[in-house]
A and B are shown apart, each in its own frame.
Chain A
Amino acid sequence: MSTHIFNTCSTFNALWLERIQGALQGERFVKMTVGVSRNLFIPFVAIAIFLAMWGAAASKIETSLGTLPGPAKVWEQTAQLYKEHQVSQEKEVAFYQRQEQRNAERLKHDPDYEPKIRPYTGAPTFFDQIGTSLLTVATGFLLASLIAIPIGIVCGMSATLYQALNPLIQIFKPVSPLAWLPLVTIVVSAVYVSDDPLFAKSFVTSAITVTLCCLWPTIINTTVGVSSVDKDLLNVSRVLRLGWFTKTVKIILPSATPMMFTGLRLSLSIGWMVLIAAEMLAQNPGLGKFVWDEFQNGSSDSLARIMVAVLVIGLIGFLLDRGMLLLQRRVTWDRNAVLR
């Protein structure tokens, strides 16, 4: 900006110009550096203090599985988990290669043979479990959003429907989804019967449990958003004689999107928390199962590995929320959506 301004003032002495530019840039550079280092430095110090306190406290706690691991041990296990993942991947690749080789050889001797590929059945690694959990939460959350947003919209627009559905929403909202879990498991086992299932039953159970808890915040916030459209804006639509559809699309929905996103963000963070618990309880594949398996395993590394999982769960939850916020900023007009 400053460069642009100064270049247009050609009557200025060139030497002076350079000096001023240099000073400005220098000043700006200092300001920027101070700003960046403030933003990075303070959290960095806080994390360092946290790690130090953790390390000091952990070394004093003796458990049945040895001393509570400090940051160093956890870091070591992170690397270890990654190595295990790599080894497992190599094994998998080798497994399929062997099969192909065998099939090729057999085809040579017996041209009528139909080659079969058996799936790899090695134990899922930590990173596989992360993938499973992410996929499950995404499925459950999307399903919930597809149901909740339309319900929220009609509830917001029709007072009668709101009165009809509100008691149900209020009663089901405070129910812990884990209470649903046994019901969901049984119902899925009974209903979801197929010879060649597209999804594993455990996946369906977990996803539906997530859906059940993701519904409520989105329904409620969408309803509030839709029903609290500024009265003046509705008057504008009356003066313009907007039709029902145009009014909904041009005025009500845009005006409700910020609230809708508030609901979606709440839903997603609750869904993520619930999923981990559901996986632990139901022994469904995912990060929750990883934690439970390590707990049952009870080796000297288990506690460190569980801590890795805890940190990763936190990090993923944080990233999911950030992702939703970025999406909200892209999609809605509300520039006041602050990253918080």
Chain B
Amino acid sequence: MNTYLSLENLSITFDTDNGPLDVLDDISLKIDKGEFISLIGHSGCGKSTVLNIVAGMLQATSGGVLLENREVDEPGPDRAVVFQNHSLLPWLTVYDNVRLAVDQVFRKTRSKQERHAWTLHNLELVHMGHAMDRRPDEISGGMKQRVGIARALAMEPKVLLMDEPFGALDSLTRTHMQDSLMEIQADLNNTVIMITHDVDEAVLLSDRIVMMSNGPSATVGEILNIELERPRNRLALADAPSYNHYRAEVLRFLHERHAQSDVPVKKSAEESAEEVLKPTLKIAAG
């Protein structure tokens, strides 16, 4: 069976001053083309580490990532990342920030006019065409994140990786951005992995929610299929029992089964052993 993106038995161990620290333990996940996956879990459980391994910024200690059956071993524009703090170059205008990515990716395959048009197209897609000559410090946080998304989309990535893309925004802006993202997703049908802390965001946007157990040695705790019809409307869904059921499922996972104590305690050997014995959930594609 051919899977589009496959995370296979990812484990990673960091060397710290207090000896080796197992951050991720045997994470496996298969993702179809066009799927929207959310990774949710408590702070410090290693969500970002998973994303960084898929992005190629970190190398797994064991296991690996296959994208269209080719192993991922370095960062590249086919796995564009939307960073939490937008990471726009402050000395370039909105247009130039996107253009830099377009030029880098399509330098050999597209003419100058085509690259210009493609840059504008992507800015329009996120409704930022009007501000293309402004610099990042002249626009709001939400607008910056829009540009960050435009930059990532402009690379025509096979997978879009989003690391808490809306985490730094106020809640009103965040809902706007989520609606925008759903719109774009309906158009382009990208494959997306998004990290989030926000339960509503996860349920509203995702096809599947991957819930991670607490670290160290974090792994996939449960996977929740969200079978809500698209296009989804947040107001209509607010009272829908199915929506609230999914929401409750995620909350129960986070706050009952994997409640995080205030002081992180190192797991005893027994507990760690139990974790290893627990079967890893793998949901077959399709």
Residues of A within 8 A of B (CB): 230, 232-233, 235-236, 238-242, 246, 250-251, 254-255, 332-335
Residue from B57, B104, B135 in contact with A242 in the complex, judged by beta carbons closer than 8 Å: B104
The 8 closest A-B pairs by CB, nearest first: A333-B91, A232-B87, A238-B75, A254-B91, A240-B104, A239-B75, A236-B87, A239-B81
A233-B87 contact, Cβ under 8 Å, with A239-B80, A240-B77 = yes
Question: Which residues of chain B in 69-86 are interfacial with respect to chain A, using CB atoms and an 8 Å cutoff?
Answer: 74-77, 79-81, 83, 85
Question: Which residues of chain B in 58-99 are interfacial with respect to chain A, using CB atoms and an 8 Å cutoff?
Answer: 74-77, 79-81, 83, 85, 87, 89-91
20 residue pairs from A and B, CB less than 8 Å apart = A232-B83, A232-B85, A233-B87, A235-B57, A235-B81, A235-B87, A236-B83, A238-B57, A238-B74, A238-B75, A239-B55, A239-B75, A239-B77, A240-B104, A241-B74, A241-B104, A251-B89, A254-B89, A255-B89, A333-B91
CB of A53 to closest CB in B, whole Å: 44
| Chain A residues in 8 Å Cβ range of B55 | 239
For the complex, what is the distance from the CA of A258 to the CA of B137, rounded to whole Å?
A: 15
* Docked-complex contact B87 and A230, CB < 8 angstroms: yes
Residue of A nearest to B76 (CB): A241
Interface centre among A239, A246, A255 (most CB of B within 10 A): A239
For the complex, what is the distance from the CA of A241 to the CA of B107, rounded to whole Å?
A: 13
Q: Does B105 contact A (CB under 8 A)?
A: yes
For the complex, what is the distance from the CA of A335 to the CA of B137, rounded to whole Å?
A: 9
For the complex, what is the distance from the CA of A235 to the CA of B105, rounded to whole Å?
A: 16
* Docked-complex contact B89 and A235, CB < 8 angstroms: no
Q: Does B100 contact A (CB under 8 A)?
A: yes
Residue of A nearest to B135 (CB): A333
* Docked-complex contact A241 and B77, CB < 8 angstroms: yes
- The main secondary structure of chain A at its interface with chain B is helix
* Docked-complex contact B89 and A240, CB < 8 angstroms: no
CB of B104 to closest CB in A, whole Å: 5
CB of A35 to closest CB in B, whole Å: 25
Q: Does B169 contact A (CB under 8 A)?
A: no
CB of A237 to closest CB in B, whole Å: 9
For the complex, what is the distance from the CA of A261 to the CA of B115, rounded to whole Å?
A: 34
| Chain A residues in 8 Å Cβ range of B104 | 240-242, 246
For the complex, what is the distance from the CA of A238 to the CA of B83, rounded to whole Å?
A: 13
Q: Does B101 contact A (CB under 8 A)?
A: yes
CB of A33 to closest CB in B, whole Å: 31
| Chain B residues in 8 Å Cβ range of A332 | 91
| Chain A residues in 8 Å Cβ range of B74 | 238, 241
| Chain B residues in 8 Å Cβ range of A246 | 104
CB of A228 to closest CB in B, whole Å: 14
| Chain B residues in 8 Å Cβ range of A230 | 87
Residue from A235, A250, A333 in contact with B100 in the complex, judged by beta carbons closer than 8 Å: A250
CB of A156 to closest CB in B, whole Å: 17
Residue of B nearest to A250 (CB): B100
| Chain B residues in 8 Å Cβ range of A250 | 89, 100
| Chain B residues in 8 Å Cβ range of A241 | 74-77, 104
* Docked-complex contact B76 and A239, CB < 8 angstroms: yes
| Chain B residues in 8 Å Cβ range of A242 | 104
Question: Which residues of chain B in 15-61 are interfacial with respect to chain A, using CB atoms and an 8 Å cutoff?
Answer: 55-57
| Chain A residues in 8 Å Cβ range of B91 | 254-255, 332-333
CB of B155 to closest CB in A, whole Å: 8
For the complex, what is the distance from the CA of A164 to the CA of B235, rounded to whole Å?
A: 63
| Chain A residues in 8 Å Cβ range of B135 | 333
* Docked-complex contact A333 and B85, CB < 8 angstroms: no
* Docked-complex contact A235 and B77, CB < 8 angstroms: no
For the complex, what is the distance from the CA of A335 to the CA of B135, rounded to whole Å?
A: 11
CB of A243 to closest CB in B, whole Å: 9
* Docked-complex contact B83 and A333, CB < 8 angstroms: no
* Docked-complex contact B87 and A333, CB < 8 angstroms: no
| Chain B residues in 8 Å Cβ range of A236 | 81, 83, 87, 89
| Chain B residues in 8 Å Cβ range of A251 | 89
Residue of A nearest to B157 (CB): A239
| Chain B residues in 8 Å Cβ range of A254 | 89, 91
| Chain A residues in 8 Å Cβ range of B56 | 238
| Chain B residues in 8 Å Cβ range of A233 | 87, 89
CB of A332 to closest CB in B, whole Å: 7
